Amino acid sequence: MKANLGLNSAQLEAVTAPLGPVLILAGAGSGKTRALTMRIVYLIKKLKFNPINILAVTFTNKAAGEMKNRIIRLIGKSEQLPTMGTFHSIGVKILRAEGNLVGLNSNFVIYDNDDQESLLKDILLDFKLDPIRYKPNIFAGIIDRSKNDLSQPEDKLARKIYDEYQSRLLKNNAVDFGDLLVWPVRIFQKHPKVLKKYQELWRYILVDEYQDTNHVQYKFCQLLAAAHRNIFVVGDDAQAIYGFRGANLQNILDFEDDYPESIIVRLEQNYRSTAPILSIAEKIIELNPKQHKKRLWTQNLTGETPVLFVAEDELAESYFVAGKILEIQDPPSLRLRRAVGNFDELEYTEDDSVFARSPDSSGRRSNLIQRSPRLAGGEARDDSEGILSRLMQKFSSRVLPKLKNRQGLNNIAILYRTHVQSRVLEEVMIESSIPYQIVGGLKFYERKEIKDVLSYLRLLVNPNDLISLKRVINVPPRGIGPASFDVLKNILLTHSRESGNLGKIPDQVRDGTVKPQIKNFFEMLSGLTKLEESANLLDLLKQILKLSGYETFLRDGSEEGESRWENVQELFNVAASFKNLPWRDGLNQFLEEIALMTQADEVDLDSPKITLMTLHQAKGLEFETVFMVGIEEGILPHARSLLEPKEIAEEIRLAYVGVTRAKKRLFLIYAQSRKQFGSRNLSVPSRILKAIPEEMLKIEQGGLPF
């Protein structure tokens, strides 16, 4: 291997660290992925580790895929590869092999949030509890938190629901996401021989984003590393933002206590952002005193001064963002056309702003963020007046020009604290013909028609899956109502079927005890399992849509039906990746891959669209231009955090994450008033803004584009 591997001195120290526990404190944009990848290559090439004895755990499938591709380029395809994946994908591998120890067959299915809540609703109804009053999603949250903590609910009713929920999961031969780690940890704790097998298999463990691990993930790593103490974790406590999901910041803060012999390496050189952006990030994170000390620096000393824009309200905020995007994409000049009146056109050069700046009488802008909301003409606003009515005022209204140049739009992101902030932004983007994508909206695999098709597929893998059966047994309509399904469910729960053999239909179904439509449904599924072995997943999908009548059901001649059918056709495109496998193998891999997908895996950063996303969803990404909107007390930091210092600290880290996503341009925006919960309220600039010295910012102010 080359002497320095193309790494800086700190990265080289991390990559060539001796065996044993190592903590890499990697600041934002410091090249941690490269260091992690090169550490794996170093283990294989220099320390002669067998790749199969290396386990690398990441938090997204995308990160695991990128790491795998980098390693292949460095060591070649002929070599065996380490085991790489998310915590949950590693958990699946273990459960497929060891699940019988906790009552699971290897063909278990993974329930998503909808499946989980559907099962909980059934349980509540069976317990004579009203699901409207006792909401399934509340119990789902309690169960998830309990599994993250390796505990059980303290509340008596919640414990009863939890126990019944786990019992039914096992009867359905199903697991939820929490089980994918809870069960392996329980197996390791109760079966020392199994634990030893995996300790010998994975003699070296690497963990990315260690600051975001929860207790069950921490325990998983601790158990595996106990034998050889070869654990290499990478993280940044300044970017710990998932406490609401159960992540425990103490895991990274206490690493030295857990492993007193550990080596600590700090990666502080930033390769992403300019010095002006890093200076602001530093001021923000200084609001949190309890953290590992490190100071980011960069050789990119010059760059645009970050902008603080003081908007009149959320509409002015959105117009400012759209205007700046147009300036970036369509320089050197833009036109603002009057929508009504004399239709005069206003022109300005790239040195002008979409909105006029408004210095105070002394020429300073130091008190801009303290001003009260006023219209451009100086009149106090009638807060009862809606945005739409103000938009429709016929005098002095202006319309932003339409975007022409779409190249490079994927390098622009608008980040907000919560999704409710996106609505006005979307409307203005549409008005300006700026294409966008929203991360975290209705995901493809959550659409009704996609879930229907996936339920048919899951029944072929796991006939015990009553949630999938309930979903599709009467879709398309077959005259099988809730009462008929309840009869069938009781039959199936008392009938022992051979695992995976839908050809063995229960006698009560075969002899006509239940409706003939139910018998026909099972015979249809049985016929699908007899598809010739040489067929592939695409062949299976076509047969399901034909024999079930689902294609005809969707394509009913309506526009909505055709739209839903187009989504199903897109599923064919996804399934095409498995067309070279026999249908059974392809089906298993296909369903597992979909079940383990995260929101981060669905982000498309290559299409010419700007990205709208929450600050949480932006973690791990980078953009040339970042707009952070709604930087106000009660939004960032969020109102729910204001009474708890620990939660405020996480909100500050969230702001730090947002700022450090920016490579070249950063815009920080707060609105002087904002409509929330049906009423307009004056806003207070966030403490996060107040932490930034004014000389670090270019401050602009504007009202509505009137």
Residues marked as catalytic: 32-33, 208-209, 239, 661
- Tokens (6 digits) for 556: 């009913």
- In single-letter form, the type of residue at position 562 comes to E
- Tokens (6 digits) for 373: 């909301």
- The whole-angstrom separation of Cα 454 and Cα 216 is 29
Q: State the maximum Cα–Cα separation within the chain, in Å, rounded to a whole number.
A: 92
- In single-letter form, the type of residue at position 27 comes to G
Do 239 and 653 touch, CB atoms closer than 8 A?
yes
- Tokens (6 digits) for 10: 């700190």
- Three-class DSSP category at 218: helix
- The whole-angstrom separation of Cα 610 and Cα 347 is 25
246 assigned to a ligand binding site: no
∠141-571-441 over CA atoms, to 5°? Answer: 40
Strand stretches in 22-175, DSSP E: 22-26, 54-58, 83-86, 109-110, 174-175
Cα–Cα nearest to 460, from 516, 554, 517, 535: 535
Q: Does a cis peptide bond (omega within 30 degrees of 0) precede residue 332? A: yes
Do 521 and 509 touch, CB atoms closer than 8 A?
no
- The whole-angstrom separation of Cα 146 and Cα 141 is 9
Do 682 and 338 touch, CB atoms closer than 8 A?
no
32 assigned to a ligand binding site: yes
DSSP-assigned letter for residue 306: P
26 assigned to a ligand binding site: yes
**DSSP of 36-70:** HHHHHHHHHHTS---GGGEEEEESSHHHHHHHHHH
Cα→Cα distances 636→341, 421, 614, 615, Å: 40, 12, 11, 10
30 assigned to a ligand binding site: yes
Cα–Cα nearest to 541, from 522, 528, 527: 528
- The whole-angstrom separation of Cα 291 and Cα 293 is 6
Q: Residue 212 region, left (φ>0) first, then alpha (ψ -120 to 50), else beta? A: alpha
The residue length of the chain stands at: 706
Start-to-end CA span in the chain (Å) = 63
**DSSP of 172-206:** TTEE-TTHHHHHHHHHHHH-HHHHHHHHHH--EEE
Do 604 and 478 touch, CB atoms closer than 8 A?
no
Helices 537-547, 448-461: axis angle to 10 degrees equals 110
- Tokens (6 digits) for 45: 């090439």
Phi first, then psi: what are they for 492, rounded to 5°? -70, -35
Q: What are the beta bridge partners of residue 398?
A: 338
- The whole-angstrom separation of Cα 81 and Cα 103 is 31
- Radius of gyration for the chain, computed over Cα atoms and rounded to the nearest angstrom: 28
Number of alpha carbons in the 13 Å side-chain half-sphere of residue 403: 26
DSSP-assigned letter for residue 128: T
- Tokens (6 digits) for 50: 């067998």
Residues belonging to the binding site for ATP are 26-33
